[in-house]
């Protein structure tokens, strides 16, 4: 199964993969139904989760029902337990980049959210836009979700500036990225253009850097006030295991 998933991820274009996943998801959820692991997003339980990864695959990380990964389940827990994202009586304007299937319908159906999605290619995007040149006015959004996007963007400084520009004063942006916390500084090398080599070095064929611990300071240099939220260490260890979270993953919670 691992080889099959790796082949699918690396050969099928992402927009088509999103469409096909709607067909595969109910079949996978039924086949893997069990009691060992639980997806907190929909509460469904399974005997195992699926493997995932473009280069080196991680075992037991992809939920069969929502197709959520570790970062999605962690974000959902944080939003649900530590913010008023789902409960605010005041309607919030939300801008969601590269919307994930795990969240798309859930967020779209929230009555307290004025929810807009954006991406260059995703079929789930309301607005097709370049993150480095957004077609939105200044200070527009109460909440921005931009998760595992910036590692794809050559000029991430410009992208961060645009995110800061369209966020309202007092607004919150959650800007998750794949991060190697053993690295003090971010690594990038534009001379590496071969997709297999990029996948080997950066973890995915279309990534352009590996973020280190300096990521948070780069966000601060843009103007954000950043909370480095180590939320898995605030959750019971048995739930970290049951929800298949990545222990020690940091959520960058940014404010303007």
Rg (CA), the chain: 18
pLDDT of amino acid 65: 92
Distance CA 189, CA 208 (A): 7
Distance CA 203, CA 54 (A): 7
Give, for all 256 residues of the chain, the pLDDT tens digit: 545 554 445 555 555 544 555 556 666 766 778 899 999 999 999 999 988 877 677 888 999 899 999 999 999 999 999 999 999 999 999 999 999 989 999 999 999 999 999 999 888 899 999 999 999 999 999 999 999 999 999 999 999 999 999 999 999 999 999 999 999 999 998 888 888 888 888 888 889 999 999 999 999 999 999 999 999 999 999 999 999 999 999 999 999 9
pLDDT of amino acid 12: 52
- What is the number of residues in the chain? 256
Distance CA 192, CA 208 (A): 9
Tell me the CB-side half-sphere exposure of residue 167, using CA atoms within 13 A: 26
Distance CA 130, CA 3 (A): 33
pLDDT of amino acid 44: 95
The DSSP bridge pattern shows strands 92-97 and 141-146 to be parallel
pLDDT of amino acid 15: 55
CA-based torsion, 131, 132, 133, 138: positive or negative: positive
Chain CA centroid to CA 160, Å: 16
Output DSSP code: residue 250.
P
Task: Indicate yes or no: pTM above 0.85.
Answer: yes
């Amino acid at each position: 199964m691992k080889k099959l998933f790796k082949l699918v991820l690396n050969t099928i274009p992402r927009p088509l993969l999103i469409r096909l996943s709607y067909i595969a998801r109910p079949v996978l959820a039924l086949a893997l139904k069990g009691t060992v692991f639980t997806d907190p997003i929909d509460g469904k339980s399974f005997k195992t989760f699926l493997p995932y990864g473009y280069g080196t695959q991680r075992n037991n990380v992809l939920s069969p029902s929502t197709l959520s990964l570790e970062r999605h389940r962690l974000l959902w827990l944080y939003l649900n337990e530590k913010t008023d994202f789902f409960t605010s009586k005041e309607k919030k304007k939300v801008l969601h980049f590269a919307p994930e299937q795990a969240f798309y319908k859930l967020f779209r159906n929230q009555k307290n959210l004025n929810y807009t999605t954006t991406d260059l290619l995703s079929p789930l995007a309301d607005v097709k836009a370049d993150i480095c040149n957004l077609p939105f006015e200044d200070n527009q959004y109460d909440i921005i979700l931009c998760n595992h996007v910036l590692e794809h963007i050559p000029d991430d400084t410009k992208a961060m500036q645009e995110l800061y520009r369209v966020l309202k004063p007092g607004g919150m942006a959650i800007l998750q990225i794949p991060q190697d916390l053993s690295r003090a500084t971010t690594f990038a090398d534009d001379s590496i253009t071969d997709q297999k080599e990029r996948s080997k070095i950066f973890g995915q064929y279309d990534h352009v850097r590996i973020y280190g611990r300096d990521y948070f300071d780069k966000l601060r240099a843009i103007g954000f006030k950043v909370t480095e939220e180590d939320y898995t260490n605030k959750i019971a260890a048995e739930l970290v295991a049951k929800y298949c979270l990545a222990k020690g993953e940091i959520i960058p919670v940014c404010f303007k």
